[in-house]
């Protein structure tokens, strides 16, 4: 994760006073640490990943950072199987950083999960600087471009694209 993206996640979590956060795509725990740094001490990060090894690495990173185990909830499984089981309107922030092929479905689930005033953040929104180039028509670029368009056109959201890292699409739930 680019340092600017991590810093932006910390600021977004702090600005939203995010006590309940969902992360789609645990990875090695780097983004989770940035989110936790912005959250109040009683905030809980729910992080979802299909790869058990990713979650092991994240748990180790959280422990090394001194994060209390009660502040994280790791769920192993396909995000599209897990997200529908989470409570509507119960989350302050949802961060999406997983397989881009599922971005449209992840974003739709995220909007459902967010409370009014909650924040959506989608990583890789510029997709290696390909999104702005209309000549780029590969599947991943097209999906990321379409996800951005859907977020911009969704009346439930107030969006912005932050030019940090590989692009961070953010939106506030109205």
Domains of the chain: 3-173 (3.40.50.150)
Which pLDDT score, from 0 to 100, does residue 101 have? 97
Q: Which band of pLDDT confidence, cut at 50, 70 and 90, is reported for residue 100? A: very high
Cβ pair 4, 26 in contact under 8 A: no
Tokens of 38: 């912005």
Cα 16 to Cα 38: distance, rounded to the nearest angstrom: 9
H helices of the chain, in order, are: 3-15, 30-38, 52-64, 79-82, 103-113, 139-153
Q: pLDDT averaged over the chain?
A: 97
- CA of residue 140 relative to chain centroid, distance: 18
Q: For a pLDDT cut of 90, what percent of the chain falls above it?
A: 99
Q: Which band of pLDDT confidence, cut at 50, 70 and 90, is reported for residue 146? A: very high
Which pLDDT score, from 0 to 100, does residue 58 have? 97
């Amino acid at each position: 994760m680019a340092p600017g993206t991590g810093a932006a996640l910390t600021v977004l979590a702090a600005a939203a006073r995010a006590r309940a956060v969902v992360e789609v795509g645990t990875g090695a725990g780097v983004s989770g640490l940035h989110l936790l740094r912005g959250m109040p001490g009683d905030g809980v990060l729910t992080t979802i990943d299909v790869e058990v090894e990713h979650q092991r690495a994240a748990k180790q990173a959280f422990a090394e950072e001194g994060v209390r185990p009660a502040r994280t909830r790791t769920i192993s499984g396909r995000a599209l199987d897990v997200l529908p089981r989470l409570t509507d309107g119960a989350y302050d922030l949802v961060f999406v950083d997983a397989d881009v092929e599922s971005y449209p479905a992840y974003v739709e689930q995220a909007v459902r999960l967010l409370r009014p005033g909650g924040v959506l953040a989608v990583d890789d929104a510029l997709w290696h600087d390909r999104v702005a180039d209309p000549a780029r028509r590969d599947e991943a670029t097209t999906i990321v471009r379409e996800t951005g368009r859907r977020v911009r056109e969704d009346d439930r959201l107030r969006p912005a694209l932050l030019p940090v890292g590989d692009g961070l699409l953010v939106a506030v739930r109205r």
